[in-house]
Amino acid sequence: MIRFTFKRLMLMVLMLLGLLAITFTISHIVPADPAALAAGPDANVEMIERYRVEYGLDRPLAEQFLVYLGKLLSGDWGKSIHTTRPVWDDLVTYFPNTVELVVFSIAIAVLFGIPLGIVAAVNQNRPIDHVIRVLTVTGVAMPMFWLGLMAQLFFALKLGWFPLGGRIEMMTDPPQAITHLLLVDALLNGHFGTFVDALHHMVLPAVALCFPALASIIRVNRAEMLETLKQDYIVNARAQGLSTFRIVAVYALRNAMLPTMAMIGLRFGWMLGGTVLIETVFDWPGIGLYAVQAAISSDFEPIMGATIVLGFFFMLTNLLIDMIYGTLDPRVREQV
Amino acid sequence: MTDQPLLSVRDFRLEFDTFDGVYRAIDGVNFDLIPGESLGIVGETGCGKSVTAKSILGLVPTPPARVVSGQILYNGEDLLTVGEERLRALRGVEIAMIFQDPMTYLNPVFTIGQQLVDVILAHQRWRPSEQRLNRAQARDHAIDMLSRVHLPNPERQLDAYPHQLSGGMRQRVLIAQALSGNPRLLIADEPTTALDVTIQAQILDLIAELMGEFDLSVILISHDLGVVASLCQRVVVMYAGQVVEDASVTRLFSEPGHPYTQGLLKAVPHPGRAASTLSGIPGTLPNLYDPPAGCRFQSRCAHAMPMCTTVPPLYAVADGQRVACHLHAPEASRAGVA
Amino acid sequence: MAELTKEAHELTVSLDWRERHVSTIRMLRLYARTFARNGSAMLGLGLVLLFLTTAAIGPYFVPFPDDATGSVHIERKLQPPDAVHWFGTDEVGNDVFTRVIVGARVTLQIACIITGVAMLIGIPLGMIAGYMGGWVQEVIMRITDVFLSVPGLMLAIAIVGALGPGIVNAMVALSLVWWPGYVRLVQAKTLSLKNEIYVDAARSMGAGSLRIVFVHLLPNCTSPIIVKASMDMGMAILGAASLGFLGLGAQPPFPEWGAMISVARTYLPDWWWYSFFPGTAIVITVLGFNLLGDGLRDILDPKHRE
């Protein structure tokens, strides 16, 4: 298991370098004139030239890439034009909000997706299975932003059950930042009212964000459960007198979980991408909204910062999923 | 026939509903098993022997399968009607089963120990409360069972995963698992087919040894007459979902009554007999979506006669041998056709 | 006489064609039957056909063709759905129905271009990686992995950020993040096919690499590619609409569904029809492609049959 972990970690470092190469390419090579882009839309020729020299854009690409890496490592992620703050500081402010949202959201997707997949599989071709299948098929086809809008329209505006958007009530004083995760900080500071309020704000965006992932987790888990329940070892388990519940919930589920885990990892990427939509719809002060606002005004460094952070976060979760995979399946552990 | 049969299959019929129509897998199967006896069921792939065996424990999924008629009496209790809950109480505790391919019948993601202990703990529910084993005792029992099937290093093997064991070792684990509830009847469905020849013999020896040790009755299902002959006292020959012959092993080998049995025997290679005398049976199994009227073997039978379009009953021949072939009909034998 | 032999020859040839392809024909019939029996697949096919028809001829039959590109009729702005304006009107009085119908064509173009470009990049790369093996494969696959390790929409936004917002740039960005999926698919398939006996046989008879790739490997990759392409049409539509919605793709008043919703959201909840109908159009279209893809997978890739 240690070798397995080490190997995965090394792979991740390589992937991270690849990711940085991509952001470097996009920021230094793709734009016709990166200096003009970096200098901002209102810059004149002299300013652009000054930028070109200041940013080393006149030097060879390999050197530029090394300089780029060095700057990132030293915490110099550039400056945002529209917030006028260093990108790193912005990311520290906004990223935790996104983490809270996606973690809550993927938790919903997994906690509901797996049981619903099992229920559908066990009741194959019965009405409940058909209902679940219709829901999942529509769920995957639903544009996340539109689902968010419709949820706002119905649950916030018509029924008034949930707030329209935002992270907490305008008038609330945020708790002292310890972890920067609002929910955790609220608890640590004993602000239970704030905690409940923050949670209340999170429900609609999290549900809208989780829907496509939920749908695909149900689909995969259902298909895998059906496949697993046909296996010989399930027949054997029945022949030995194990209860149906134990067979389904332990013997079959553990095997079906392997492909489901892979799907969860994949969909987590969708979800991270989806934050740009959901945060825009619900005015959620996260990294997605930050990136979109930057992209609209061609404010370059914040976009790259957000891309790196989201990509890194995605790699980290995939590493975690690989580890869980390794614990679940002894054969994978030994392959390395 | 003084003993009350332990298991009695009577007029058992089972069909599968498929897209292509109704598949008549089992059509009127009858046989008895006396306590302490070991019975072989022989036939080629698709003859319904495995389905019959799985039906005893209620392991054939319904749907698509559907029991049409018949009874499977275990100690007088009809297993086809007792329901899943009662069957569960019997599985592993009264009737146990081992299967063909030890590679696929163990769960790949749990250790041998987890799977053994789980089964042992599941059986405790049906025992009187003062005799129930706790987890630690179940583990000891698992180790004991592994050593009784002669698995080397039983304690260490508990932490092994199935893929780390050889096929023969896995079959031993499955046997240990099946016998851990101390059942009275063991159904072995092609237990050696997937194994190397040398391992086959070891496993058969093991089953023979355990029969005495656990006071077991055994139903051994195989397509291989040799395997059946080495372990069983009596043989039921099945063809296309029906029993065509039921006889003691010695009688079957010396005086096979049914043309199909005769064909099977000719197809068994024998040391000291030239390979040229080996012969297969021409033709293939009849289409069970639309089985022919009368004897199902007639299209492949060298002795086919007009009478074969009626269904032959099991004619009693001698020494408890019964044959479903009109060649053994009383008037036919008087006429000297046999 | 010569005429006769020629005729006879033609006759045998025409007979031969049916006879030679009798197994293919039977297989296609079986596919068609399996597909027709699958209710949701037929629904998917129906929705996709509806979408394609709308995209092809819809724009010629819309009630207010001028509204498609954004004219202004302040006097009839934000009217609820009625007999004249089936889906109501928007904030400058354009007929939403017209714009949704014209949007179908726009959407179809976008989806085809994104999926097409992704396939053009991904399939050859996957073939090369799988067939060549060695370091070539390593390099291609590691690059693919890196692209797959960044959430696609985020990467697309980054690229659009570099190129500037707009429908063309959005398509470029989405194509650039879409190809890695095809590389993985085709590489895995090529790798497993490469050592099949018939490929060995072809190689032993002196077939060149190109011939092996195009004659023996590519046709055997088509089924999974078709299935993926069908699914991807739906996903590409979602992606393009998402960028449109964020204001990074098509710019209003261009009749693209996502861009329409982007404007329409500010008119919620009172003028709900403005965002409701374009959204529904997206759901139905994507649903159609997904169901069709599912159905195709069921017949073309029996291993995944449930």
Residue B63 lies in a domain: yes
The residue among B232, B264, B279 that closes a domain is B232
Q: Are residues C10 and C84 in the same domain?
A: no
pLDDT band at A22 (very low <50, low <70, confident <90, very high): confident
Q: Does position C306 have pLDDT exceeding 90, yes or no? A: no
Cα of B262 vs its chain's centroid, Å: 21
Query: Pick the residue with more confidence: C206 or A91?
Result: A91
The pLDDT value recorded for residue B338 is 39
Q: Give pLDDT, residue A115.
A: 93
Residue A31 is predicted with a pLDDT of: 64
Domain count, chain B: 2
Q: Domain boundaries in chain A? A: 34-76, 87-334
Do B204 and B244 fall into the same domain?
no
In this structure, the answer to whether residues B24 and B136 fall within a common structural domain is: yes
Shortest distance between the Cα of B213 and any Cα of chain A, in A, equals: 20
Considering the domain architecture, whether residues C149 and C220 belong to the same structural domain is answered as yes
Chains linked to B by 3 or more Cβ pairs within 8 Å: A
Average pLDDT over residues C140-161: 87
Q: Closest CB to C290: pick one of A137, A145, A274.
A: A137
Report percent pLDDT > 70 for chain C. Answer: 90
Residues 6+ apart with CB under 8 A from B280: B263, B267
pLDDT digits (tens, 9 = 90+) for B295-307: 888 878 777 788 8
Considering only CB atoms, A240 lies closest to which of B84, B163, B178, namely: B178
Among residues B232, B263, B279, the one where a domain terminates is B232
Q: Compare CB distances from A331 to B88, B91, B108 and report the shortest one's residue.
A: B108
pLDDT band for C14, please (50, 70, 90 cuts). low
Average pLDDT of A208-213?
A: 90
Q: Mark the ranges of chain B whose per-residue pLDDT is less than 70.
A: 1-3, 269-280, 331-338
C48-97: pLDDT as tens digits: 999 888 888 878 887 777 777 777 777 777 777 877 777 877 777 788 88
Whether C305 has a pLDDT exceeding 50, the answer reads: no
pLDDT at C216 over 90: no
Average pLDDT of the residues in A199-208: 90
Cross-chain Cβ contact A242/B122 below 8 Å = yes
Please report the pLDDT score of residue A98 as a whole number.
92
What is the C-alpha separation between C159 and C173, in angstroms, rounded? 6
Instruction: Give the range of the structural domain holding residue B303, as residue numbers without chain letter.
Output: 239-334
The tokens for C33 are 């039957």
Q: Which residues of A touch B163 (CB under 8 A)?
A: 330-331
Range of the domain at C86: 39-305
CB contact under 8 A, C279 and A223: no
The torsion defined by the Cα of C173, C175, C181 and C185, in degrees rounded to 10, comes to: -160
Regarding predicted confidence, which is higher, C53 or A181?
C53
Query: A243 and chain C: CB distance < 8 Å anywhere?
Result: no
Under an 8 A CB cutoff, do C287 and A137 touch?
A: yes
How many Å lie between the alpha carbon of A150 and the closest alpha carbon of chain B? Answer: 42
Mutate to test the interface with C, among A149, A158, A304 (most CBs of C within 10 A): A149
How far is residue A308's CA from residue A292's CA, in Å, rounded to a whole number?
Answer: 15
Are B256 and B186 contained in the same domain?
A: no
* Chain A residues with CB-CB distance to C238 below 8 A: 141, 143
Q: Tell me: do B194 and B307 sit in the same domain.
A: no
Last residue of a domain, one of B210, B232, B254: B232
Check whether residue C107 and residue C53 sit in a common domain.
yes
Q: Any CB–CB contact under 8 A between B85 and chain A?
A: no
What pLDDT does residue A9 have? 85
Both B279 and B173 in one domain: the answer is: no
Cβ of C246 within 8 Å of Cβ of A311? The answer is no
Judgement on whether residues B215 and B247 belong to the same structural domain of the protein:
no
Task: Say which CATH architecture domain A87-334 belongs to.
Answer: Orthogonal Bundle (1.10)
pLDDT in tens, C63-77: 777 777 777 777 777
Under an 8 A CB cutoff, do A330 and B161 touch?
A: yes
Q: What's the confidence (pLDDT) of residue B275?
A: 60
Indicate whether B261 and B219 sit together in one domain: no
CATH of the domain at C112: 1.10.3720.10
Please indicate whether residue C300 or residue A19 has the higher confidence score (pLDDT): A19
pLDDT tens per residue across span A283-335: 888 999 999 888 887 777 888 888 889 888 888 888 888 888 878 887 777 66
Is the ipTM, as predicted for this complex, more than 0.85? no
Mean pLDDT for chain A? Answer: 84
Q: Secondary structure of chain C: what % helix, strand, coil (to 5)?
A: 80, 0, 20
CB contact under 8 A, C145 and A144: no
Where residue C7 falls among pLDDT bands split at 50, 70, 90?
A: low
Residue C6: predicted pLDDT: 58
Q: What value does the mean pLDDT take over residues A28-38?
A: 66
SS3 B17: strand
Beta bridge partners of B220: B40, B188
Q: Give the pLDDT confidence score for residue A208 in this predicted structure.
A: 92
Mean of the per-residue pLDDT values of chain C: 81
Chain-chain contact of A233 with B105 (C-beta, under 8 angstroms): yes
Residue B20: partners with Cβ closer than 8 Å, 6 or more residues away: B289
Do the Cβ atoms of A331 and B161 come within 8 Å?
yes
Question: Which residues 241-280 in chain A show a CB within 8 A of chain B?
Answer: 241-244, 246, 251, 254-255, 258
Residues C243 and C99 in one domain: yes
pLDDT of B337 reads: 43
Contact assignment for A149 to C275 by CB distance below 8 Å = yes
What is the rounded radius of gyration, in angstroms, for the C-alpha atoms of chain A?
23
